[in-house]
Amino acid sequence: MNKVARTTIRPVRSLNLLSQEEIYKLSNPRADLHRLFRDCALAILNTDSEEDDAEEIFKSFADFDIRLQPQSRGIMLEILNAPAQSFVDGKIIRGIQEHLSSVLRDIVYTDFKILAEEADDPAKITDKVFRILRNAGVVRPGVSPNLVVCWGGHSIPREEYNYAKHVGYEFGLRGLDIITGCGIGAMKGPMKGAAVGHAKQQIKNGRYIGISEPGIIASESPNAIVNELVIMPDIEKRLEAFVRLGHAIVVFPGGVGTVEEIVYLLSILLHPENKQGIPLVFAGPESCREYFETLDHFLRQCLGDEIASLYQIIIGEPHHVGNVIREAVDKVHSDRYASGEAFYFNWQLNIDPTLQFPFIPTHENMAALKLDPSLPKHELASQLRSAFSGIVAGNVKAFGIREVAKHGPYIIDGDPKIMQAIDHILHTFVEEKRMKLGQDKHAYRPCYKVAQYA
């Protein structure tokens, strides 16, 4: 495995002056903050890798380290045994250097300004999401709505990637900017396509915003198109950042993580206090028609047929997706202008506290989920979100992988009809190899068991 033994860089476009306490906490090898910074930095330097197992990445680069060197004019970062693909002729790629700077900025700000505060009040959680995004320069007043969130899998075939890129191209031609989870596959495709569309329209300040979090970044390292990277402290704040920033959401085919994002959003849209929705489109090539039929059937079986009124499915026709989203964003613009609401952050959304407080995927918490159709629909969708979040953790997050290795697969139990729906969609994902990359190298080992089908 090719590595760069040692290099030093200076942070750019970001935090360069640190206090003595900040330097100490980031530099102490025994401190949690140093380990967090090290792990996120390794993920950044591992950009475009096809490995999506966080534990395997950490094992392969066990000798990697990043250290802070205080200097009178700021700090330098000393990097040891880094992945070689982030360097050209011995020099770090500029975009990677900027992403490392973003990680440093967000980790320092979150640790010293955000996590040190009480977070029992959901309104304070939303305020913290806003402040992290503001500190990163992502929320910008005075800009008309034009941000499209794109969700989808990182492990997708070429045809689906090309389709996502074509849709992104249509967005770029229409002056729309892109937000994704910052990884490869259906996250990279729309950004790459939009960059070409922007270039044709001579839009020189196109925004390709990547939002990640420490638990997932190792398995979804930022792609090379991302020019604004934000690291949120946990998956819940990451998801809230998507829905507060985005003016429309497009979902491409994906796996368990994509379903987690969908049911998270549907839980919000189903909440009785949310009168205005978020434009939501499911889109894919003709080869994905059956995929979306399966997804639609799963959502209807779990949440009722009326759930289909909250989304639109478009098969093929990337230009049509572009038209639909442009019109939807224009309507968001006119609605918010008429009501005096902010363009840059959707403060009006009511997000239930169960979606805001971190769900820790222990075996006990997974077994305690209430997957019961008698629940209000938005609460059931929230419980489904937690179930799929646990499976994501067991697949690719270091904590979940260790939990499953120690205690065996997670057990998912609940109403028989819902269990049937979950079992069917999970089996479909396994058969279509949407669970992990590298399926030709090793078979997928389930991190879960659906109780009635175990």
Identity at 83, one-letter amino acid code: P
Tokens of 271: 């909440």
Give percent above pLDDT 70 in the chain.
Answer: 94
Identity at 67, one-letter amino acid code: R
Question: Which pLDDT score, from 0 to 100, does residue 161 have?
Answer: 97
Tell me how far CA of residue 445 lies from CA of 61, 257, 424, in angstroms. 23, 17, 17
Q: Which of 113-122, 260-269, 321-330 has the lowest mean pLDDT?
A: 113-122
Query: Which comes out higher in pLDDT, residue 452 or 343?
Result: 343
Mean local confidence (pLDDT), 256-283: 96
Question: Which pLDDT score, from 0 to 100, does residue 157 have?
Answer: 93
> What confidence tens digit (pLDDT) does each residue in 183-203 have?
999 999 999 999 999 999 999
8-state DSSP, 112: I
Sign of the alpha-carbon dihedral angle for 145, 346, 229, 387: negative
Average pLDDT, the chain: 91
15 has a pLDDT exceeding 60: no
Query: Which comes out higher in pLDDT, residue 438 or 354?
Result: 354
Q: Which of 72-76, 164-168, 204-208 has the lowest mean pLDDT?
A: 72-76
Q: Give the whole-angstrom CA distance, residue 111 versus residue 115.
A: 5
Mean local confidence (pLDDT), 44-51: 75
CB count within 10 Å of CB 116 equals 8
> What confidence tens digit (pLDDT) does each residue in 134-153 have?
999 999 998 999 999 999 99
Q: Is 142 left (phi over 0), alpha (psi -120 to 50) or beta?
A: left
- pTM of the predicted structure, to 2 decimals: 0.93
Query: Which comes out higher in pLDDT, residue 76 or 130?
Result: 130
Three-state helix/strand/coil letters over 342-404 = CCCCCCCCCCCHHHHCCCCCCHHHHHCCCCCCCCCHHHHHHHHHHHHHHHHHHHHCHHHHHHH
Tell me how far CA of residue 23 lies from CA of 37, 173, 317, in angstroms. 12, 44, 52
Question: Which pLDDT score, from 0 to 100, does residue 440 have?
Answer: 45
Q: Delimit the domains of the chain by residue range.
A: 3-116, 121-454
Question: Which pLDDT score, from 0 to 100, does residue 13 have?
Answer: 62
Burial of 362 (0-12, 13-18, 19+ CB in 10 A): middle
What per-residue string of b and e applies to 23-35 under the rule 16 or more CB within 10 Å gives b?
A: eebbbeeeeebbe
Q: 83: helix, coil or strand?
A: strand
Q: What is the CATH number of domain 121-454?
A: 3.40.50.450
Q: Do domains 3-116 and 121-454 have the same CATH topology?
A: no
> What confidence tens digit (pLDDT) does each residue in 106-137 have?
999 998 888 777 666 888 999 999 999 999 99
Q: By the 8 A CB rule, do 162 and 189 touch?
A: yes
> What confidence tens digit (pLDDT) does each residue in 333-372 have?
999 999 999 999 999 999 999 999 999 999 999 999 999 9
52 has a pLDDT exceeding 80: no
Tokens of 167: 């849709």
276 has a pLDDT exceeding 80: yes
> What confidence tens digit (pLDDT) does each residue in 295-319 have?
999 999 999 999 999 999 999 999 9
pLDDT confidence tier of residue 439, bands split at 50, 70 and 90:
very low
CATH fold of the domain at 3-116? MCP/YpsA-like (3.30.1850)
Question: Which pLDDT score, from 0 to 100, does residue 150 have?
Answer: 98
